[in-house]
Copies of this chain bind each other. A is one copy, B any other.
């Protein structure tokens, strides 16, 4: 059988999923509703329509529609990079000497370098369909901003990106990719918004923060006619769009009769893990499968493994609605961690509820061991992985080594969300032996959680 499975399983274009899968429809315990912070009442489509595109606002609050048809225009774009390959990690297996079969769904083979494009194109499409002129967003590491720039170029939409100032200065290449796709990039805080001007006045010379960039992007959207705000993770609509990752993975596994024993995904806000696991956790919810699902987070920002399941603000600037989620508190500042995409204080409400209900497990791993795994992977499988994705690689390697001890030929599937081509400052630290680990103290987390508003 081993020889019959190709190195890369590419589905035909005709096998591209025609509908996204909304896992909420199969959840007995739905994710807790997001709340209007002023009234503490569940938000309505009308509440959030000034910020989000209308169709996306509807998707955000829709707990019932199981399959959402993917519009043809989005399918046409998906064909640029999809179906993405499911790769059998023969080289890695051989190096580890494991009887396990390792597979990874590779989402990084596009210029944005990650899975973010799957939701970016959907959000750009609905903005275009609504007749909008453009969208605003924030970006930290830059993967989301790049994906959105590409999507906006495709639909001829204006794209305003607020980029955390320190990243703007340290990642000029990311900025240039976005500009090549026609986006305008503003370092945040900026003097283009009230909140930005206020920050600059209070903290001259500040490096900026994701929280502030979100606030600026939202302000720019609501104060500019014809604009809406879009976001690349955490939201339920994003998990809906990202379900294409899991649907393709399942089709590819089914095609070769492979039954996965464990599905592994890195978890920051939850966009990748939520998408990858969607159809598999759906089977668990319906009692059709007992596949293990494993979320891997950094020890420096351990929302699932050390946070609490509480209502919290989604952003440090407190301009967004409140969500019930596993959180370290919106004022938690994860320091000294290069895996930019996993530095979020909370977790998708869907993943939080599923974790609370025991449908998935979570572990946290240290940064140096993550980069050790990244290097091993690069040298054997030939792809330089993103630091975020390398959290999943670490866990997959550890599971494969357990199989080596036990002699089990388990099927391990993980999400390789992206490439590390713009993360070489972090790789340099690792190569130079200067990378360190950071584990927040119990006190640090307790202090941050103590600042949460009481909501029940």
Interface residues of A (CB under 8 A from B): 6-8, 10, 12-13, 79-81, 91, 109-111, 150, 153-154, 172-173, 176-177, 179-182, 375, 378-384, 419, 421-422, 424, 427-428, 431
Shortest CB–CB separation between residue A100 and chain B, in angstroms?
19
CB-nearest residue of chain B relative to A146?
A: B384
A181 near B379 (CB under 8 angstroms)? yes
Q: Which residues of B contact A419 (CB under 8 A)?
A: 111
Q: Which residues of B contact A181 (CB under 8 A)?
A: 378-379
**Which of B79, B153, B176, B424 is close to A176, meaning CB atoms less than 8 Å apart?**
B424
B111 near A383 (CB under 8 angstroms)? yes
Known: A79-B7, A80-B382. A431 touches B176 (CB 8 A): yes
5 extra interface residue pairs, beta carbon distance < 8 Å, beyond A154-B382, A173-B422, A176-B431: A7-B79, A172-B424, A173-B424, A177-B384, A180-B375
A12–B173 CA distance with the chains assembled, in angstroms: 35
A428–B427 CA distance with the chains assembled, in angstroms: 24
B172 near A428 (CB under 8 angstroms)? yes
Q: Which residues of B contact A180 (CB under 8 A)?
A: 375, 378-379, 384, 427, 431
Q: Which residues of B contact A383 (CB under 8 A)?
A: 110-111
CB-nearest residue of chain B relative to A151?
A: B382
Q: Which residues of B contact A380 (CB under 8 A)?
A: 154
**CB<8 Å pairs between A and B, sample of 17:** A6-B79, A7-B80, A80-B382, A81-B382, A111-B383, A111-B384, A111-B419, A153-B379, A154-B379, A173-B173, A176-B427, A176-B431, A177-B421, A180-B379, A181-B379, A182-B379, A421-B422
